[in-house]
Amino acid sequence: MAERAEPTELTRMTATGIAGLVAAGEVSAVEVARAHLDRIAATDQRVHAFLQVDTEGATAAAAAVDAARAAGAPLSPLAGVPVAVKDVFATRGLPTTCGSKILEGWRPPYDATTVARLRAAGLVVLGKTNMDEFAMGSSTEYSAYGPTRNPWDLARIPGGSGGGSSASLAAFQAPLAIGSDTGGSIRQPGAVTGTVGVKPTYGGTSRYGLVAFSSSLDTPGPCARTVADAAALHAVIAGHDPGDSTSIPQPVPDVVAAAARGATGDLAGVRLGLVRELAGEGAEPGVMAAFREAVDALTKLGAEVVEVSCPHFGYALPAYYLIAPSECSSNLARFDGVRYGLRTGDDGTRALEEVMSLTREAGFGPEVKRRIMLGTYALSSGYYDAYYGQAQKVRTLIARDFTAAFAQADALISPTTPFVAFRFGERTADPYQMYLADLYTIPANLAGTPAISVPCGLSGGMPVGLQVMAPAMADDRMYRVAAALESVLPAPAPPQL
């Protein structure tokens, strides 16, 4: 038997590598869990990736994997691998706050489908990660529980809204994480932390138990440090779910095989569309330099790169910031202080409507209130057709742009974000400047198509991501391209914490 891996080595291994050791009995799942829990204890005071660490639950889940292996039971491909879960997923018995005071202390009596599938596959849930409140933000500065810091530079943001999940990966606190992507909340944090973030096809992963922000956009997805690990996690959580009315009732493409094929570095016969409208508008020079080097690398791997135009992508940002707030103003009406969560001002003398108003005033943060008001206005009588209705028409035009572009190319490429991670406080005073972080990611959400961010270099010492977009239910294409790029441009490691 080979020498046993040291705890520090375990936290820097790939998820598939850890699973192989556990399956072979060369390390126990409990040892793996403890190594990552120790890493969290040693680093999270500085990073603040986690809102809740479930030491007892993680240890028990790991022990169950070890018992199953000892009994000779078959193990799933990722059994015994730790995973961090964004705090927007209902998790039985654990606080699920969505980064908001209005849900502080709420413990769901059930698991989201994504979480249930993780547990069924033997993954070990380490805890819940920090996020912008109700997934509304691009920096994790809007969490009611304080910001998460980027392990590359603790003075900078880790992206958002899922900054806690991406930071946990970059800090080697977890080998895998789960996020949700409404306008870029998995891919943008992945880009600025040098990790891999995936938005699957809308409906390819279940929204059941995902606390809703924008129901027609929200998409659960995998976060990892390698493309192969992301594909393996994708395979666990994807697939039809009768509990979600938007779930697609057809088989998920073999993303694991696609990533393995891409890792050989062969893209012969693959045509990639460079989206003209996402190739430099507002981007930092360093980001574009890293992106161009990555495009050259893809060409050397045999891909044919052609320029394509998606003329309506320029309207994606304003359309998104009408559609998403409109849906959030409806979805967040359920948080009223009556059924669960925070209740403020109920002294026995106030009417129910006043208690509800006081609860929402105390429980919701400024960005959530801003979006609720925007959405309520856009849906109001006399304005619906002019704002929400028009935005939905733009959404249709963007979907048609994708259809036309995919007639010319197998997959599309662009930078993931226009800029690298910025410093805390740089954009909070101007919401529009914050919203620009999602400039390149939003079109895929509006169309429901899959997209992945993969590291493609550095700018000023900070990570840059390349985005690969594919047609709906062709998630395997983006994995092949991303894995091929990773084979020649491996992600650089962040500085030691």
Q: Which of 28, 76, 86, 100 is catalytic?
A: 86
Which residue is catalytic, options 161, 165, 166, 180?
161
CA distance 83 to 128: 9
Cα gap 34→348, rounded to integer Å: 48
Beta pairing class for 124-129 and 82-86: parallel
* Cβ atoms 184, 465 nearer than 8 A: no
Strand segments (E) across 20-107: 50-53, 82-86
Measured between alpha carbons, how far is 40 from 124 in angstroms, rounded to an integer? 14
131 φ/ψ angles, rounded to the nearest 5 degrees: -165, 160
Residue 135, C-beta contacts closer than 8 angstroms, at least 6 positions apart: 88, 98, 99, 161, 162, 180, 182, 185, 213, 218
Would you call 245 a catalytic residue per the annotation? no
**Contact by Cβ (8 Å): 136, 375:** no
3-state DSSP assignment of residue 269 = coil
Q: Residue 226: beta bridge partners?
A: none
Q: Which of 76, 165, 168, 185 is catalytic?
A: 185
Active site residue 161: yes
Contacts of 159 (CB under 8 A, 6+ apart): 138, 139, 140, 150, 166, 188, 189, 190, 191, 192, 193, 417, 421, 437
φ and ψ at residue 4, rounded to 5 degrees: -70, 140
Specify the pairing of strand 196-199 against strand 219-224.
antiparallel
Q: How far apart are CA 379 and CA 373, in angstroms?
A: 10
According to DSSP, the residues that pair with 222 across neighbouring strands are 178
Q: Is 369 a catalytic residue?
A: no
**C-beta separation of 77 from 14 below 8 A:** no
Contacts of 99 by beta carbon, 8 Å cutoff, 6+ apart: 51, 87, 88, 130, 131, 132, 133, 134, 135, 142, 143, 144, 145, 161
Alpha-carbon gap, residue 388 to 380, rounded angstroms = 10
DSSP secondary structure letter of residue 430: -
Tokens 């395979």 sit at which residue? 235
Amino acid at 236: V
Catalytic residues: 86, 161, 185
